[in-house]
Chain A
Amino acid sequence: MLAPLWILLIMLAVFVACIVLLRMPNGLALILAGVAGSLAGGQGVPVHHLVEGAFAYIDPIMLIASAMVFMASLEDSGALGSISRSLMIGLHRQPVLLIMGMTIFIMFPGMITGQSTATVLTTGAIAAPVLIALGIPRAKVGAMIAMSAVYGMIAPPISLPTMIIGSGVDMPYTGFELPLLIATLPLAFGVNLALAWPHLRRIDLQAVLPELGEDHAARYGFRLFLPLVLVAGLLAAIRLVPQVSVSIGVVLVFVIGALAGAVTGRRFNLASSARRSLRQALPVMGILVGVGAFIQILTLVGVRGMMVVDALALPSFWKFVGVSLLMPLFGAVSCFGSASVLGVPFLLSFLGHNEIVVGAALSMFAGLGDLVPPTALASFMAAQVVGEPRYLRVAKYTALPGIITALWAIGMILLANPIAKLIPR
């Protein structure tokens, strides 16, 4: 049986070899890397652990699948294009306000669902044509959507990474609203304005409108938007009156929305739209299956523990470097996994700083994982939404905002106690 460090190196080598030499899909490469790690760790081929780990992300996988079908339904019914047209017509005279409004608009589903991918695929997809029509390059629009989705996921009222970190130390999810707003809103506005600024110009509405496609709202009226209203209403009901809506999951909400889309606008074949969207989402879903098995083996053979303990053993300055690198890197595997596995021990290691503010800051590091390749879930999905064939182009534009976000989070940890004084009691 090898030391955990050697096992980790073997797993990484097998993963890279499978991708580069054998051109395997990422998900399969991760599973084979897991098998290699297990063999190196003297655990044989533990089918039980591989299967169990592969099911770890069954909920996000179903969420992505249903959200993709819903978006395809909205797109094919003509609702998306019509919303883009309306936004452009309403706000074309104030491009800065348009960007800020778009930022909040994109963040909104993340704020109420705590999920970045659902955000990219819903409001991100609606905002994309408008931002592209403003003259912003597709890759930058993708970056704006991905960053907004990550900030939306961290922002209140629902911040799942923060809840996960808090539940690890039995800290109730109360008092987080202000720290989470400080963590996200200024960055979201700043980053998106900075990305869009070089391209903002006076908008010639007549020139732009044809790029946004046909106006289906004129033909179908308000019923065209009923699927969106239905989904927003059901999500709000789940959030606001959970006692009444206990049995409705987000997956079912998106399925209901997709079915509604098939009868409220332009006629289309829902089955073929669903097939098309699932084919697009399959690589990401495959990665999540592989990631689950990979982490389970990391835990089984002791590599996970080694990574966490070595990170905690870092001296004070290097601990900040460690948290800035390790949490996003682990977050690339799983944002929520990073919050649980690294967020909780790091929260305990920063005792002395206000726990609520530190918890909010650590959830930002975990959220950044959705921007880190090779998974880069938010960037990957955003690239799909803006029609950018190479998601690394989107990821490139998220790099600097990501670094700024990490520095912002470090600042929050250092200033945790003064910030905590602002929290209303």
Chain B
Amino acid sequence: MARTSFHASRQALTAGATLLVVALVVTFSSRGFLQQHEVEVLHPSPALTRVFKLSEINPRLAGSPGDTDVYLYEGPGEGGTLLIIGGAHASEIAGTMTVALLVETLKVDAGRVFLIPHANASAMTHDEPQEAHPRHLVFQTAGGPRKFRFGARFTNPVHQWPDPITYVQPGSGTMLAGAETRNLNRAFPGVEDGYLTERVAWAITQLIIRENIDLSFDIHESSPEYPVINAIVASETSQDVASFATISLQSEGWEFALEPSPPNFHGLSHREWTDHTKTRPILLETASPVMGRLRGRTDADLAVIGKDVQYMKAARIGAINVPFDENGIRSTRTGSPSSTAWRATWPPSRRSSARSTNWCPTASSRWAAGRRPAS
């Protein structure tokens, strides 16, 4: 009897201690997880015309974690209309940082520019388990440290769950793994009242249609071992401007390739925007070692600076598709997307065209120096 009682007390003690440890861990760690829901403040350049929510296009996004800011810049002169989105995959920071850079520094002389820094706002609120990515990137500027979130490839499962066994891409019927249901760049052209991710995709596609956007950029990053890397992916309608931008970049020493948009790659922005809108879509893909499966130690330095011992070894055995040495990848990841977009949008031969947009990320050096433009 006494033995049974001792055993029961010991079990109760173990259970109580376990619950206490779990409660402490939950309390301690939850603050950090919740911090990823705090949206960083951007300081738009004086050229900003207005900011509106994506839910203005699709009211079904109103109040949802998928709703996100759209920044509109209008120049005094007449011209074409441009869209640049980053953060369709929130772990591909070249996209979010490039568009954030443009939001804060843009100057538009003619035409209109729409910017969406966090295309998948929900994906900014979490990390992918087992990837060990940093939660935030901190940049030291003259105005003090600035913190930017490092998100995940997919929509936060807290916001869209459960995943189906397989994701049947709307329209095409292409079958993908169930988690791809939360992949914004597999959800285009989107569904008005579909999954949260599909609703976001639908709103962006409709924005392109409603605003008669001429040229659209979707900025991504991928692992150095991925076949399509440091590349400009263009569909049949955007080959001309993309070719010009590629040649222009190559002539200045940027190692970029031009890749066609395969007609059967459904759900991806470059394909579906071609098939469902009149815009000329371009997807940019720079190499990022923090995305890769071959990377060594994973931290914020790897995400920003990109030096990695394992990728150096991989480069020596020819396992990756970009040059990689002790200095990392020889490219500037936010520089190349913005530079590409600029070249594609404003080729010298088209300066007289009524539909070209005359804009420039002129203040990028000012942003980097930390002098924040007035909000």
Within 8 A of A (CB), among B74-97: none
Chain A residues with CB under 8 Å of B298's CB are 299-300, 302
| B301 interface residue per 8 A CB criterion | no
Which of A238, A295, A301 is B164 in contact with, Cβ under 8 Å? Answer: A238
CA distance A243 to B176 in the complex (A): 14
| B177 interface residue per 8 A CB criterion | yes
| B6 interface residue per 8 A CB criterion | no
| A160 interface residue per 8 A CB criterion | yes
| A337 interface residue per 8 A CB criterion | yes
Chain A residues with CB under 8 Å of B221's CB are none
Known contacts: A48-B135, A163-B177, A296-B130. The answer to whether A340 contacts B166 by CB under 8 A is no
Within 8 A of A (CB), among B225-278: 225-228, 264-265
Which of B28, B130, B177, B228 is A299 in contact with, Cβ under 8 Å? Answer: B130
Q: Please tell me if the beta carbons of A309 and B310 are within 8 angstroms of each other in the complex.
A: yes
Q: Please tell me if the beta carbons of A172 and B174 are within 8 angstroms of each other in the complex.
A: yes
Chain B binding surface SS class: loop
Q: Please tell me if the beta carbons of B310 and A249 are within 8 angstroms of each other in the complex.
A: no
Chain A residues with CB under 8 Å of B175's CB are 163, 172-174
Query: Could you say which of A82-90, A92-100, A344-352, A414-422 contacts chain B?
Result: A344-352
Chain B residues with CB under 8 Å of A304's CB are 293
| A204 interface residue per 8 A CB criterion | no
Within 8 A of B (CB), among A71-119: 112-114
CA distance A252 to B265 in the complex (A): 32
CA distance A6 to B309 in the complex (A): 16
Query: Could you say which of B211-219, B311-319, B337-345 contacts chain A?
Result: B311-319
Query: Could you say which of A11-19, A53-61, A143-151 contacts chain B?
Result: A53-61
Q: Please tell me if the beta carbons of B131 and A167 are within 8 angstroms of each other in the complex.
A: no
Q: Please tell me if the beta carbons of B317 and A313 are within 8 angstroms of each other in the complex.
A: yes
Residue from the set A114, A170, A292, A309 with the largest chain B CB neighbour count within 10 Å: A309
CA distance A344 to B227 in the complex (A): 11
| A129 interface residue per 8 A CB criterion | no
Known contacts: A174-B175, A249-B162. The answer to whether A47 contacts B25 by CB under 8 A is yes
Q: Please tell me if the beta carbons of B165 and A113 are within 8 angstroms of each other in the complex.
A: yes
Chain A residues with CB under 8 Å of B313's CB are 309, 313
Q: Please tell me if the beta carbons of B165 and A239 are within 8 angstroms of each other in the complex.
A: yes
CA distance A309 to B320 in the complex (A): 10
B151 to chain A, nearest CB (A): 13
CA distance A242 to B167 in the complex (A): 8
Chain B residues with CB under 8 Å of A174's CB are 174-175
Give the interface residue-count category, chain B.
Answer: 35 or more
Chain A binding surface SS class: helix
Within 8 A of A (CB), among B125-171: 127, 129-132, 135, 161-168, 170
Q: Please tell me if the beta carbons of B132 and A249 are within 8 angstroms of each other in the complex.
A: no
Q: Please tell me if the beta carbons of A52 and B127 are within 8 angstroms of each other in the complex.
A: yes
Interface string of A151-178 (1 = CB under 8 A from B): 0000000101001100111101110000
B310 to chain A, nearest CB (A): 4
Q: Please tell me if the beta carbons of A51 and B195 are within 8 angstroms of each other in the complex.
A: no
A172 to chain B, nearest CB (A): 6
A308 to chain B, nearest CB (A): 5
Q: Please tell me if the beta carbons of A299 and B166 are within 8 angstroms of each other in the complex.
A: no
Q: Please tell me if the beta carbons of A305 and B294 are within 8 angstroms of each other in the complex.
A: yes
CA distance A309 to B294 in the complex (A): 6
B63 to chain A, nearest CB (A): 19
Chain A residues with CB under 8 Å of B29's CB are 47-48, 51
Chain A residue nearest to B266 in the complex (CB): A172
Chain B residues with CB under 8 Å of A59's CB are 162-163
Within 8 A of B (CB), among A338-376: 340-342, 344-345, 348-349
Chain B residues with CB under 8 Å of A4's CB are 296
| A136 interface residue per 8 A CB criterion | no
CA distance A112 to B178 in the complex (A): 13
| B32 interface residue per 8 A CB criterion | yes
Interface string of B299-338 (1 = CB under 8 A from A): 1000000001110011001010000000000000000000
A379 to chain B, nearest CB (A): 24
Chain B residues with CB under 8 Å of A164's CB are 177
Chain A residue nearest to B127 in the complex (CB): A52
Q: Please tell me if the beta carbons of B168 and A242 are within 8 angstroms of each other in the complex.
A: yes
Q: Please tell me if the beta carbons of A296 and B129 are within 8 angstroms of each other in the complex.
A: yes
CA distance A313 to B319 in the complex (A): 8
A376 to chain B, nearest CB (A): 20
Known contacts: A51-B29, A308-B293, A309-B294. The answer to whether A251 contacts B162 by CB under 8 A is yes
Within 8 A of B (CB), among A191-249: 238-239, 242-243, 245-246, 249
5 contacts between A and B (CB under 8 A): A113-B165, A167-B176, A172-B175, A312-B317, A345-B319
Q: Which A residues are closer than 8 A to B by beta carbons?
A: 4, 41, 47-49, 51-53, 55-56, 59, 112-114, 158, 160, 163-164, 167-170, 172-174, 238-239, 242-243, 245-246, 249-252, 292, 295-297, 299-302, 304-306, 308-309, 312-313, 337, 340-342, 344-345, 348-349
Which 10 A-B residue pairings sit nearest by Cβ, starting from the closest?
Answer: A249-B162, A302-B296, A56-B129, A163-B177, A300-B132, A302-B297, A305-B310, A299-B132, A305-B296, A51-B29
Q: Which B residues are closer than 8 A to A by beta carbons?
A: 25-26, 28-29, 32-33, 127, 129-132, 135, 161-168, 170, 174-178, 180, 194-195, 225-228, 264-265, 292-299, 308-310, 313-314, 317, 319
Q: Knowing that A252-B162, A299-B131, A305-B294 are A-B contacts, what are 8 other residue pairs whose CB atoms are under 8 Å apart, sorted by A's residue number?
A: A47-B25, A51-B26, A55-B129, A163-B175, A239-B166, A245-B164, A299-B130, A302-B309
